[in-house]
Every structure is written in C-alpha cells, then in structure tokens.
Amino acid sequence: MDAADLDRQAQTLSGCIPPLLVSRLLEIGHSEEVEAQARRGEWFCARAWAQLLSDQGRQAEALEVLSPYVATGWWSAARTQAELLESWGRAEEAIALALPYASTGGLPLEYFARLLARHGRTDEAVTRLSAGIEDRLLAAALVDIAEGAGRDEDVAALLAARIPGQHRCDSPWCCHRLDPDDAIGLLATIRERQGRVDEAIALLRTRHITSVNNRDQLADLLARHGRIEELRAYAVTDRLGHAAQRLAEALEERGDVEGAIAVYRQSGDAQDFRCHGTVRLAELLARHGRGGEAVDVMRVLAEAHNGDDWILHTWSNLCLAEGRPEDGLAHLDALAAARGGEEDWDLYWIRLPLIAARDGVDAAVAQACSHPEGSTSYAAPHIAELLVAAGRPEEAVAVLEQHAPENSNELAGHLIDLGRVNDAVALLQRRDSELVSLPGPALSSTIPHSDSASHGCPADNTQAGQPQVMVERELRGRNSPHGTAQTRSCGGEVVLRLTQLALQGGDPIPGL
C-alpha cells in the first residue's frame, strides 16, 4: 500500500472495488467481504467499513481500519479520519491531523480552514485563506467563512483589489488563478447577503464570462429575489440562453407553466440555446402530462439535427415513456435512411429499448447481434442491459464475460447480484495494465465464455501476428448502472495511455 497507488484507485476507480459496488456489497449482506478487503488495501472498502464501525460507536476499531492508509501520507485517508474525529467531538485531534497537509494549499487547505472556522478559530482560517486568495477554490471558501465571522468587508476589499486588470479571461478555464470575473462573482455574493442587491446586480453586469457550468449567477440572483421582469429583460439579451432557462424554471416554480412554455418557445431565437432550450421544453411538457406535445417537439428537433445522439436519446426515451415505441422506431428508421441507411453503433443502439418494448427482448438482442459492431466490447453492456431489464441476469453475465476486462464494473455488479462475490472481487482487482492486441479484438480469452448462454454475440478472435503492447485503461462512464461504461461515444470515455513497454523495444505506437 502506498499513496500513489491509493490515489490511482481513487482517481480512476480501476483495479479496485469502486464505491458503488462497495455499497452494493453492504446492502445485500456481504459486510464480511467489505471488512476483509478493507484490511487488504481496498480504500473504498476501508472508508465504508470505518464509517459503519463509527455508526456503531466502535471508534477505536474505525481508526484501526484507517491507520495503515493514513500512514502512507495520503491526504484523502487523513481527511476521512479527520472527518470521523470531528463527528465524534474530537475536533482538536482532527485539526492536529489535518494541519501538516494544509501547507500544500488547495483542497487540504480549504478543508483545514473550514474545519478551523467550524470550531471557533475563524480569524485563523481567514488569515490562512487570505494568503491563498489567488486560488479560486480558496477564495470561494474565504467568502463562505467570512459570512459568520463579521469579516465581509475585509474579504470584499481583497476581492475588489483583484477586479481591475488588463487581462480578461475568455473562458472559465483560461487561468488557474483568481481572474477578475471570479472576483466579481464572489464580491457580488458578499453584497447580496449584505442586502445590497442592486450593487450585486451592477457588479454582475460587468462580467466578461456570464455563465459557468450552464448557470448564470445574475439570472439566479434575479430569480431568488423575485425580480422576474428584470430577469425577462436579461433573457432577451443573453445569447447563451441560460437566463431564459432560469426564467422558465422560476415561472414553473410559481405555477405559471404556460409562461414557462412560452419562454422556451421564444428562446429558439438564441442560437447557442436552440437545441438545449427545445429539450428543456420537451422535458417541461412531459413533467406536466403533455407527453404527446413533448414527442412532437422533439421530432422536429431530431429532424433538424439528424445524427446528434443525445437528441435522439431524448426522443427515444420520450417515445418509451409515452408507450409509443413503434413511432420512435419508424422515425429512427426514417432518419437513418436520410443518412444513407448505415449507422454506427453509437446511434444504432438507441433503437434497442424501443425494439424490446415493441417486439420483446429476444428480438432486440437478435437485432443487436446482426449489427457489424454487435460483437464488440462497447456493444456488450447495451445487450446486457436489455437482458437484465427482462429479469435474465445470468444471460447478461454471459454476454459481458466475453469482454470482461473492458466491462469489469458492469460485470462485477451483476456477479455480486448473483451471489458470485469472489468472482466479482477477483475481476475488479485485476490491474489495468494488460496485454491486448491493437487494433482491437476483444479480450475475450481472459474469462472463459459461457457455453450455456442463450444470447450474446460472438466475440472477435485475436488475429495471429498482431503486435502485443501494454496499455493502461482509465474508464469513466455515465451510462452504466454500476459506475463505469465502455462505449465509443455514446456516454463513455475511454482513455488509452501507452506505458513504457513499446513494441519489442521499438518506438511507442503513433497516435496513442
């Protein structure tokens, strides 16, 4: 166990038992496995087991579980222990534990300062954070802490001094330091909570970047204070459409659904918001029992943006929710024909739930397997999902086993549900660095195929003579029910990093 390996686990959720599956093990009664793995270097098991012991009042045992992790000097382990100590009323011990890490700045300093402030040492927290105000994270923490310390004006002065300047960022990722727009936003937060709302609004109107993470601070402020007409006027000038979105949300919250619908219909003039605004409109209509209208709205958008998978996903889900799979399939077929009739898997698989709803799961699986990419590792989770939804998890496991390394989290989740905990743990603990062939036949030889499976597309066979290279997979997905999905472009990201092993001593493969 060392800090670098623990950090790799936490960052990539690979080569370990990830937190969602740790929770699953505990939920279905496998606490003894979590305890055992916690003592074998599985960080997420250790964190969950220590919390469980804490909840049972077994403080000494909880600290014993965390001790070897904290001993590595890894901040995340130290923070977890400090959080437990604080929850037990042992704040001074928590402060002493976190203190050495605070000197590194960033997240450890933010946590330490907030810890100090929670326990009556606000002035010290403000002093420490003020020295690091150029860090956006620390500046935001400083503004939060100043609220209850009577230090608003001190912090406001620090922020105001950073607003002038020649450089103005043109994106939220331009600088790692506190740029003028950050300072404006934080100063506006202080002015708003002081009741100086007009000053806050005036400040926010001077920003160069108006939205971060699809939220506009000025629009949110106007909505909070019920200044709907000002928000409506702002929405007219906001080309991003985020002010219009906040206006529609505010009107819906007030029960004015028709007003919210009108806002989204009018926001179609904002080029940058046209697609997202239409999707928001469809979602609003569906929430209020007008699913048929929502489907019609999305049909027009899908025709205008044929091939945008996220739009087609929304259309498909609406058709399913409305019990109209045949309409969804007919339209998807028409759109595919307009594109020339051939579809890559990232668009093709959208139709599978619709086929299952109309014709049954067997028809959907057969259709999936007929696709040229139906035997790939990134198709396997979609086929497995159909089978699980039909109450056939064993068959889903057989499909995923054909591509086990690429789909380890999904497969492990289903193995746990079937009671095959040892198999799941062994699969998850396999390190990411494995010999694979490039270009990509599936790693189907790692786990034997299930001959008894009634479904599953045949895996590709490794071609003789292809070079073997060592790669490390970092898999981060959004579509998997178990936390990781291997897809090409429909909701997951696969990052391949070539390790120092090259082709028989040659140069690394170009393009990786």
The pLDDT score that the predictor gives to residue 477 is 31
The pLDDT score that the predictor gives to residue 272 is 65
Buried b or exposed e, range 303-333, using 16+ CB within 10 angstroms: eeeeeeeebbbbbbbbbeeeebbebbbebbe
The structure tokens 């009323």 sit at 89
* Beta-carbon count within 10 A of 411 CB: 28
The pLDDT score that the predictor gives to residue 495 is 26
Distance CA 101, CA 112 (A): 8
The pLDDT score that the predictor gives to residue 63 is 98
* Mean pLDDT, the chain cut into blocks of 10 residues (512 residues total): 92 94 96 97 97 98 98 97 98 98 96 97 95 95 91 95 70 69 96 97 94 94 98 93 96 97 82 84 96 94 88 93 94 88 90 97 96 96 97 97 93 96 93 38 28 38 31 30 31 27 30 32
CA distances (Å), 299 to each of 279, 288, 304, 311, 443, in order? Answer: 11, 19, 9, 9, 39
The pLDDT score that the predictor gives to residue 126 is 95
* Beta-carbon count within 10 A of 187 CB: 23
Q: What is the pTM of this model?
A: 0.78
Distance CA 510, CA 460 (A): 24
The pLDDT score that the predictor gives to residue 485 is 32
3-state secondary structure of 117: helix
Closest CA relative to residue 345, chosen from 182, 488, 173, 175: 488
3-state secondary structure of 468: strand
The pLDDT score that the predictor gives to residue 271 is 63
Q: State the alpha helices, DSSP H only, in 305-392.
A: 309-321, 325-338, 345-348, 352-359, 361-370, 380-389
